[in-house]
Amino acid sequence: MSPDINPLVLLFASIFTSNILLANFLGMCSFISISKDMDSANGLGMSVTAVLTITTAINWVVYKFILIPFGLLYLRFIIFIIIIAATVQVLEMVIDRFSPSLYMALGIFLPLITVNCAILGVALFMEIRGYSFIQSIVFAFGSGLGWWLAIVSLAAIQKKVLKAPVPEGLKGAGITLITIGFMAMAFIGFSGMLIVQ
Amino acid sequence: MEFLIAPIIVALLASLLALIISIVDKHVNNYGDVEININKGKKVINTKGGDKLLTTLSSEGIFIPSACGGRGSCGSCKCEVSTDIGPILPTERPYLSPEEMNKNTRLACQIKVKKNLDMYIPEELFNAKEFSGIVEEINDLTYDIKEVIVSIGDESIDFVSGRYIQLVVPPYGKIKEYTQRAYSISSKPSEKNKVAMLIRLIPDGIATTWVHNYMKVGEKLKLIGPFGEFQKSDCNSTMVCIAGGSGMAPFKSMFHDMLEKGEIDREVWYFFGARTIKDLFLLKEFQEIEKKWPNFHFIPALSNCSPDDDWDGEKGLITDVLDKYLKTEIDSSKHREGFLCGSPGMIGACNNILNHNGIRDIFYDNFS
């Protein structure tokens, strides 16, 4: 039985109050390493959103019509992962062929997404929370937008931080992690508005 | 039978995904027949699109140098593509200068052949071939430098002294893929059926570890080349040559070639820098050349010479020795040219010394 949540509420919650990155800390590796310039952050954010939405839809169908009927829930990790890997590969070929300009923007980031744990995380949340197909897609799309918002915000902050008098020992990853901590606290400010589990 | 359900479902699902990838690859990655026009019609290739340009060209027998084997990490496979094939990729940018970007220079290992292309490559690359060879000799020159002589049988290699060749390293130990590395040719151009290289062991180096620890006499291997632009000039200026370690290779080839062709009127000063007496090699060979070639001067120098060493040659850093000779021994009234081969650090330091002493024409083979 799916929870009774309006998809629009779910969309808002997944972007702000339950941001996959700043509330659940999923997808941190690429978030930290690619957030140094705005173009790359945008490219990666866009790719994560597209891949999250498509793979979650496929994973929901496989979960509902294969894993549950055959009692194979214990295999969900490996099944979800191979679906994500295959989808990313197909997506890369299709974008390269039909939209070279988009491929230029996303191209080198697409393979990185295969190992982004936010993608697997959303598939597992969808299963744990029992979302319907529409809810899952909205949740995945919103989580992607939330991840995109977070990485673009961090890239913008990093631009300022570069010119700030940061102590020598904190330069690089140190100040980035502190910044992410502050960002997470700022997003907690949204949490009173909606609680969606 | 229930225990079979899980593997069957996983196998079916994985097969279905593999099938989808294959179908998409076959249809989406099918760019049909394409024509690659090289050097304004000098060679026209009709092939199937969809592969990287480097792979497509090598499958048609045109070998563009690629020290990293097409992984986009060496920047060697540069070529000019005049057809619009889209903007320069982020993976290409680090290896291209602004001038190269303006001239439509691209990395052949990064761009895909999707439509008809017009491109330009240096003419000499048409001579580059893939050779099947057999290791004829492996000689220990020092504790960390080996001379490898490869016989290429009935095939014949045409090159100018100073060129390099790419050695194809097969998988071994924990290395699971074929790798390629570039080495200067130390044999003479007249020796058409063999290729010699001087290879120094680099700790954890994929190719040098294979050469030093795994390669056996009689082993079959592949070589691709020749490549490069390093060579002596055609004028009669004084050559000031400087090498360190396995940087000896192109000079060994060059001097034997000049001697063979009787170009002994030309004055050559050859400085060879080493740390200790253990790092010196081929001294007798170059002393023999000195005897046959009155204008040839061989100056080996040791930077870390111990008082116990039996060494009466030059001592000190090669830069200091070079500076001393340029100021006192080498006739500055004649036109002089510098030829350097070795590590980027040595080349940079010697370049400065040559510049300070008024030598502006400097050519180098950088081991970066």
- Give the span between the Cα atoms of B360 and A146, in whole angstroms: 58
Q: How confident is the model at residue B18 (pLDDT cuts 50, 70, 90)?
A: very high
Q: Which residues of B touch A70 (CB under 8 A)?
A: 5-6, 9
In angstroms, the CA A128 to CA A73 distance is 11
Q: What is the rounded CA–CA span in Å between residue A32 and residue A43?
A: 14
* CB distance B359 to B338 below 8 Å: yes
- The number of angstroms, rounded, from the C-alpha of A3 to the middle of its chain's C-alpha atoms is 22
- The pLDDT, as a whole number, for residue A133 is 93
Rg (CA), chain B: 24
Q: Which of B17, B24, B86 sits opposite A104 (nearest CB)?
A: B86
Distance from CA of B64 to the nearest CA of A (A): 24
Pairs across A and B, CB distance < 8 A: 49
Q: Are the C-beta atoms of B194 and B136 separated by less than 8 Å?
A: yes
What is the 3-class SS of A44-75, one letter each residue?
HHHHHHHHHHHHHHHHHHHHHHHHCCCCCHHH
Parallel, antiparallel, or unpaired: how do β-strands B238-244 and B336-342 relate? parallel
3-state secondary structure of A158: helix
Chain A residues with CB under 8 Å of B86 CB are 100-101, 104
ipTM over 0.85? The verdict is no
**Regarding predicted confidence, which is higher, B50 or B81?**
B81
Residues of A with CB under 8 A from a CB of B: 62, 66, 70-72, 75, 78-79, 82-83, 86, 89-90, 93-94, 96-98, 100-101, 104, 107-108
Chain A residues with CB inside 8 Å of B94's CB?
A: none
How far is CA B78 from each of CA B82, B227, B233, B247, B334, rounded to the nearest angstrom?
13, 13, 24, 24, 37
Residue from B4, B5, B13 whose CB has the most chain A CBs within 10 Å, to mutate: B13
Half-sphere exposure at residue A172, Cβ-oriented, CA atoms within 13 angstroms: 3
- pLDDT tens per residue across all 197 residues of chain A: 677 788 888 898 889 888 888 888 888 888 887 787 787 788 788 888 989 999 999 999 999 999 999 888 898 999 999 999 999 998 888 888 877 767 776 666 777 787 788 999 999 999 999 999 999 999 999 999 999 999 999 999 988 888 888 888 888 888 888 999 999 988 888 777 766 65
Q: What is the mean pLDDT of chain B?
A: 89
Question: Above 60 in pLDDT, residue B5?
Answer: yes
pTM of the model: 0.64
CA–CA gap between residue B159 and residue B161 (Å, rounded): 6
Helix (H) or strand (E) run with residue B319 in it: helix B318-328
Q: Which residues of A touch B25 (CB under 8 A)?
A: 93
- Give B199→chain A minimum CA distance, Å: 35
Nearest alpha carbon to residue B300 among B273, B278, B325: B273
Environment class of residue B129 by beta-carbon count within 10 Å: exposed (0-12), middle (13-18) or buried (19+)?
middle
Residue whose C-alpha is closest to residue B278's, from B77, B128, B88, B143: B143
**Phi and psi of B363, rounded to 5°?**
-120, 140
Q: Which pLDDT does position B38 carry in this prediction?
A: 92
- State both tokens at A119: 């993608």
The helix (run of H) or strand (run of E) holding residue B338 is strand B336-342
Yes or no, beta carbons of B91 and A108 under 8 Å apart: yes
**Tokens found for residue B11:** 């196998």
Identify any residues that bridge with A196 across adjacent strands, giving them in sequence order: none
Tell me if B137 sits within 8 A of B194, measured CB to CB.
Answer: no
pLDDT at B345: 87
Residue A107: per-residue pLDDT: 61
Enumerate residues 6+ apart whose C-beta is below 8 A from B175.
B169, B206, B210
What are the pLDDT digits (tens) for B286-318? 999 999 998 999 999 998 888 777 888 888 899
Q: Which residues of B touch A (CB under 8 A)?
A: 5-6, 9-10, 13-14, 17-18, 20-21, 24-25, 28-29, 86-87, 89-91, 112
B92-150: per-residue pLDDT in tens?
888 999 999 998 899 999 888 988 999 998 887 887 888 999 999 999 999 999 999 99
Question: Of B118, B91, B113, which is closest to residue B32 (Cα–Cα)?
Answer: B113
Residue B204 pLDDT > 90: no
Collapsing DSSP to helix, strand or coil, B24 comes out as: helix
Cβ <8 Å between B28 and A79 = no
Q: Do B17 and A83 touch (CB under 8 A)?
A: yes
